[in-house]
Structure 1
Amino acid sequence: MLSKQVGIMVDTAAVIWDFGGVLTSSPFEAFARYERQHGLPENFIRQVNSVNPDTNAWALFERAEIDSATFDALFTAESTALGHKVAGRDVLALLAGDLRPGAIAALKSLKGTYRLGCITNNVPVGHGAGMAGTQEKAQAVGAVMAVFDHVIESSKIGIRKPDPRIYQLMCETLQVDPSTCIYLDDLGINLKPAKAMGMRTIKVTSEAQLLEELGALLGRTWD
């Protein structure tokens, strides 16, 4: 995929990306399949993650305050308390999505024109920032991560979205003002702080929608 610049948006200095659910398929799709296969209520795993969102097993693991064994035990207890026992280790196995080639091609086409950053909430499992399940996939993800000027992983710095500090840290590192940034994420709760700082935001629901809205903001079309 190539991009054609059809207009110059001089007020854009940086494009900042989430990883999972933006440059890859959403883990929520894998959660939904798991729920159907195990007869669980729709969105049950997301419900577990939404209870005590700053202190639950998921939040602790994304800040690397616990290990995978502790996450397994805590998540299992949290899900059981909500009426359905789901092992935390089963959830971890669902995290690594498939790379979206169109989104990645668009990302690469912006290299050199804009500062590029990635802010990802991840956990210390699997291989690399994308928590890949195999070395082969880790290499593919690593090639994507190499495109960015800077990558922030929650599990490495102990701060996770939507903490405003993580967005500010990215802007400081890229040496850009938030008002000159576009931020893409698949979760509305993670977009709110970025928008409050002055960033233009895109809530990603699909690869096609991502390309359409990012193209509109940048004055580009994607072939």
Structure 2
Amino acid sequence: MVEAALFDLGGVIVVGPWEGFATYERENGLPEGLIRRINSTDSDTNAWARMERGEIGLEEFAAAFEGEALALGYRVDGMAVLNGLSGELRPEVAEAVRRCSERLKTGLLTNNYSPMASSERSAELAEVMGWFDVVVESSVLGVRKPDPAFYTMACEALDVAPSACVFLDDLGVNLKPARAMGMTTIKVVDPDEALAELEAVVGFSLRG
């Protein structure tokens, strides 16, 4: 019996950062996938991970990230990479969040570098944020996905067991520990397919 629906932000509710990364790479003559490669190297201790845990600020991140790129033989602008992160809202997923909030407990689980409360948000995204019972942020907690402690904190905040949760994320590495804890997981590649899977899990319509 599902009691709670948990959603990632980037790549699920809003378009993921990958398009911004790809645009930066194309515009600067860099190999496709370079930024993702940098972020996947030493993924728990690299500049991106430390930034998302709130251990370093943006300027320190930029310098460290640029150093990691240089170690691979490429020059990048760390702040420019960050500036391309904001993605457009996916209305169909936002509607699914709204409908889930009417029947289930809901949580937003996001790795971010700045607390949502201090970020400038569109009116649309601000409305979506209001539908969540809890917002679990790496920059606030000092813990990030895929650390199992992150999911434990989310479950404790919602007062639910992992086995009573369904969790949507666009990265398999983030879903694996959640699944090991007992959560039902859905990898978001195509939003329509993911919402169809979620409807099957929760047992009610999320679209139309």
Q: TM-score range by the shorter chain?
A: over 0.9
> Is residue 122–residue 130 contact of structure 1 (8 Å, CA) maintained in 2?
no
What is the one-letter code of the residue matched to 2:184? R
Cross-structure match for 2:169? 185
The 5 A counterparts of 1:133-212 are 135=120, 137-212=121-196
Deviation of the 1:131 alpha carbon: 8.4
Runs of 4+ that moved beyond 4 A = none
**3-state SS in 2 of match to 1:202:** strand
How far apart, CA to CA, are the structure 2 residues paired with 1:50 and 1:68? 19
- Give the equivalent residue in structure 1 for 2:23: 33
- Summarize the alignment of residues 27-176 of structure 1 with structure 2, pairs less than 5 Å apart: 27-124=17-114, 129=116, 135=120, 137-176=121-160
Letter in 1 for 2:33: N
3-state DSSP of counterpart to 1:49: helix
Q: Does residue 1:15 correspond to 2:5, yes or no?
A: yes
- Name structure 1 gaps, 5 residues minimum: 1-10
Whichever structure has more helix as a proportion of its residues is 2
| C-alpha distance in structure 2 between counterparts of 1:19 and 1:212, whole Å | 18
Once the two structures are superposed, residues 52-93 of structure 1 have per-residue CA deviations (whole angstroms, 9 ceiling, x without a partner) of: 111110011001111111011000110111121111101110
Percent sequence identity over aligned pairs: 46
Would you say how many aligned residue pairs link Structure 1 and Structure 2?
207
Instruction: Provide Cα deviations, 1:180-204, integer angstroms capped at 9, x if missing partner.
Output: 1100001110001100000000010
Q: Secondary structure at the match of 2:136?
A: strand
For normalisation by structure 1, the TM-score amounts to 0.88
Letter in 1 for 2:59: A
Gaps of 5+ in 2: none
Q: 1:5 corresponds to which residue?
A: none
Letter aligned with residue 152 of structure 1: V
Taking the aligned partners of 2:117 and 2:35, their CA distance within structure 1 comes to 20
| Relative contact order, higher structure (CA 8 A, sep 6+) | 1
SS at match of 2:74: coil
Matched residue type, 1:204: V
8 A Cα contact 1:130 1:141, kept in partner: no
Q: Which amino acid letter does the alignment assign opposite residue 70 of structure 2?
A: T
What is the SS of the residue equivalent to 1:111? Answer: helix
